[in-house]
Amino acid sequence: MKYGVKRIGLFGSHARGDQKNNSDIDFLVELDKPVFENFMDLAFYLEKLFGKKVELITNGNISPYILPYVEKEIIWYEAKSTVS
């Protein structure tokens, strides 16, 4: 998938359905290869796509203190593999 995304998960107020107009959108992403350029390109793409500030966290840098809360509400989207 583009940007090396294996799967991406929505969490926070948008996942719970209690977001406000000024709420950012929180994503947890698993990348094929954690490359900074892919991470930044994905963050800019998502902000442009949704027209809102995006908080993007990789599975390798999420705080162990917030992980249990994220795991309770995250909505995962898997990358589709293509067959040629």
Residues 21-66: tens digit of each pLDDT: 999 999 999 988 767 888 899 999 999 999 999 999 998 889 999 9
Residue 84, pLDDT > 60, answer no
| Distance of alpha carbon 81 from alpha carbon 58, whole angstroms | 21
The amino acid at residue 1 is M
Parse the chain into domains and list their residue ranges.
Answer: 2-78
Q: Confidence class of residue 3 from pLDDT cuts 50, 70 and 90? A: confident
Tell me the three state secondary structure of residue 43.
Answer: helix
pTM for this model (two decimals): 0.86
User: Which CATH number does 2-78 carry?
Assistant: 3.30.460.10
| Distance of alpha carbon 32 from alpha carbon 82, whole angstroms | 15
Residue 82, pLDDT > 70, answer no
Which are the contacts of 53, defined by CB distance < 8 A and separation ≥ 6? 24, 25, 47
Residue 4, pLDDT > 70, answer yes
